[in-house]
Chain A
Amino acid sequence: MATETARTDLPADVTEHLTTDDRAGLLRAMLMMRGIEERAMTLYRQGKVPGSFYDGYGQEAVSAGPAWAMAAEDRLCILHRDLAAHIIRGVEPWRIFAQYMGRADGITRGRDGNVHFGDRTKGCVGMVSMLPDMMLVATGMAMAFKLRGEKRCAITWFGDGSTSRGDFHEAMNWAGVQKLPVIFVLENNQYAYSTPLDQQFAVDPVERAAAYGFPGVTVDGNDPEAMFEATRIARERAIAGEGPTLIEAVTMRMHGHAAHDDMKYVPTEKVEEWRAKDPIDRQVKRLEALGVDTQAIRESVKAEIDEAVERALQSPMPDPETVTDGVFADEPALLEDGNAPWSGFQKGA
């Protein structure tokens, strides 16, 4: 039984599997996530985004790195602080803004809000608010891959709070028993709403992986390349039939739980300490050392966002006449493959 549970800090510089284009792509996805969320917050304050608004400021690497490591035919169950995963799979920014604003062209067509979405045509399933539920859905996808003898993998993200729910245990247990090709990403951002880690668990949850019979690794969640590398290794394990991996991404929720939350329960110095570890700043430094024009990337992201907001604002609100449509399916509508930009796949890795 594999029980390599340890706090393994992966090397920060992972050049073997990432080309400069890959590394720039990771930066672009993170900039796109931050840019979209910042703009959406403005739209929220202008009253154009109904409900509340949730973002992943400072946590961009946790979704960008793993999503970069996933193949087109792999499947993703994505959390609300992981917008970069949607972007990497190919969801167009204007549809994300339309989603936030409850428009007809949002991914859920106004049926659900904010980051509660998943584009089935990109191989993604949206979260429900009971976050670890999706751990079981991902485990079930992995079960289908195993039943059919396919070399594919499912990945799911969940938070530190999720580790307290039964579905966390049920998913990890089943995945361990069946040795399923699934990757569990524990997004440890220090707080579940206002509840700090020391009130959530008595044991570092990465150590629990050993109890289910598979490895758990702790990764710098503010380094997209370390997150990529951990996921790449976990995916190789999965498709080789060696079973699941738990990846604990240690990061920090830099904003409140949602737009209304002033986060006064978090010491200011803790936020400042993490601000110095900003994942985008770190990736920019890396790329500049490689001679990449990161300013050009920023400008192209900003231009795309400007255009996306304009287009989304043109999208109509959904027609109330249609509100009872689509509770039941007349025909099957299943998951399809998404984008997989990692150079390793182009090389046939």
Chain B
Amino acid sequence: MPTLTYLQAISDAMREEMRADERVFLMGEDIGVFGGAFKVTDGFIDEFGPKRVMDTPLAESAIIGCAIGASVEGMRPIAEMQFSDFVSCGFDQLVNVAGKTYYRMGLSVNITVRLPSGGGFSGGPFHSQNPEAWFMHAPGLKIVAPSTAEDAKGLLISAVRDPNPVLFMEHKHLYRRVKGEVPGGTYETPFTARIAREGTDLTVITYGAMVHTALEATADLEGSVEVLDLRSLVPLDEEAILRSVRKTSKVVIVDEANQMCAAGAQVAALIAERAWEDLDGPVVRVATPDVPIPFSPPLEQAVLPQVDDVREACRELLEY
């Protein structure tokens, strides 16, 4: 199997799916000749032409709204937000049109929206956000967030084939930092959680870039730590969460997103409701405090969960 970066795996997913299915096409700002702000679509316009690799005006609501229109006509658009932060400009189309159309009228909306998200490189308040929880609260939208190259490819292909709107949270900080063996051709990865490392004494539940932070933080702790990679936030793999908690009885939940009502808050609520009797300690959360993501490196590092923060939280809970 070839070794690909997380970014190459995303490109590979789109390239293979576009070769296999002529309904699939791309829309976004600067994705054509320029190949995208992060070069995810580099070379695509040469292979597929400008009709299927569509450079759009700078208008996120239009990108999402037009993707919806094309999808109800049988196309399978993949829309790129140049940065996930910019999805705020397309919020209404996602929340009120994409998310509610099937429930209201039985008309399926097969769109995939790619959201390059996350911080860690001085992107500042408008290029570092993790907006997944905004959309978890809106019924009708699926949300996936891969942490590995293999899952990035498989989850993206599953998203394109899913007859529902799917938000694909791709973490920018993983683009070139994470590599792995990735199967060729096309394959689907289910919207379920994955055990990134087995353990018996404590479970760290997280997703996206924080999976790598959690693995590093707990590699040499006294105690056997399980790391559960959620992969999908909607649907949330509740059984995998409960199974792991029942096994280890101690839970640390890590979000790179702002803490208030983050994905991890829902996980904590689930555990409180359905695994209370299985717990041997408080549910512990590590997340970004409720501040905009600052620009300057020491400030940014002070808010984003770091390896040491996760290690300390786990150590304390193991000793509880």
Contact = CB atoms under 8 A, between A and B. Distances in A.
Interface-centre pick from A129, A137, A138, A144 (highest chain B CB count, 10 A): A137
A126 interface: yes
B56 interface: yes
B61 A167 contact: yes
Nearest to A152: B73
B185 to A, nearest CB: 23
B104 interface: yes
A120 B75 contact: no
B62 A128 contact: no
B70 interface: yes
Interface in B63-120: 64-75, 92-93, 96-97, 100-108, 110
Contact of A333 (B62, B104, B106): B106
A140 B105 CA distance: 18
Contacts of B297: none
Name the residue in A119, A138, A167 with the highest tally of chain B Cβ atoms < 10 Å from its Cβ.
A167
Interface stretch (A170-178, A224-232, A241-249): A170-178
Interface in A291-335: 326-335
Interface string A164-197: 0011001101100100000000000000000000
A139 B97 contact: no
Interface in B102-143: 102-108, 110, 139-140, 142
B105 A126 contact: yes
B110 A170 contact: no
Nearest to B102: A329
B73 A144 contact: yes
Contacts of B70: 140-141, 143-144, 147
A154 B97 CA distance: 17
B69 A139 contact: yes
Q: Which of A142, A326, A327, A330 has the most C-beta atoms of chain B within 10 angstroms of its own C-beta?
A: A327
A335 B107 contact: yes
Contact of A136 (B51, B69, B106, B163): B69
B72 A137 contact: yes
B73 A330 contact: no
A174 B104 contact: no
A136 B69 CA distance: 7
Given A137-B97, A140-B70, A125 B142 contact: no
Contacts of B147: none
Contacts of B68: 136-137, 140
A140 B104 contact: no
Interface residues of A, number: 47
A236 interface: no
Given A107-B105, A130-B96, A147-B51, A327 B65 contact: no
Nearest to B65: A136
A140 B139 contact: no
Contacts of B52: 147
B140 A328 contact: yes
Interface string A105-118: 00110011000111
Contacts of B96: 128-130, 133
A103 interface: no
B164 interface: yes
A81 interface: no
Interface centre among A140, A143, A327, A330 (most CB of B within 10 A): A140
B313 interface: no
Contacts of A136: 61-62, 64-66, 68-69, 93
B74 A144 contact: yes
B242 interface: no
A221 B89 CA distance: 33
B59 interface: yes
A177 B57 contact: yes
A133 B65 contact: yes
B78 to A, nearest CB: 14
B104 A133 contact: no
Given A136-B66, A334-B74, A174 B108 contact: no
Contacts of A330: 163
B103 A170 contact: no
A60 B52 CA distance: 40
A75 interface: yes
B167 to A, nearest CB: 13
A164 to B, nearest CB: 14
B25 interface: yes
A170 B163 contact: no
B102 A326 contact: yes
Nearest to A147: B51
A145 interface: yes
A143 B104 contact: no
Given A139-B66, A328-B140, A118 B61 contact: no
A330 B161 CA distance: 11
A329 B71 CA distance: 13
Contacts of A139: 62, 65-66, 69
Interface string A80-120: 00000000000000000000000000011001100011111
- With most chain A CB atoms within 10 A of its CB, the pick from B56, B61, B110 is B61
A325 to B, nearest CB: 9
A145 B73 contact: yes
A143 B69 CA distance: 8
Contacts of B100: 128
6 contacts: A75-B73, A118-B107, A125-B72, A125-B105, A135-B65, A138-B69
Given A125-B105, A335-B73, 14 more contacts: A116-B104, A118-B107, A137-B65, A139-B66, A140-B70, A143-B70, A147-B70, A154-B69, A171-B65, A173-B62, A174-B56, A174-B57, A330-B163, A333-B106
User: Which 8 pairs from chain A and chain B are nearest by CB?
Assistant: A140-B69, A136-B65, A140-B66, A170-B62, A329-B108, A144-B73, A137-B69, A144-B70
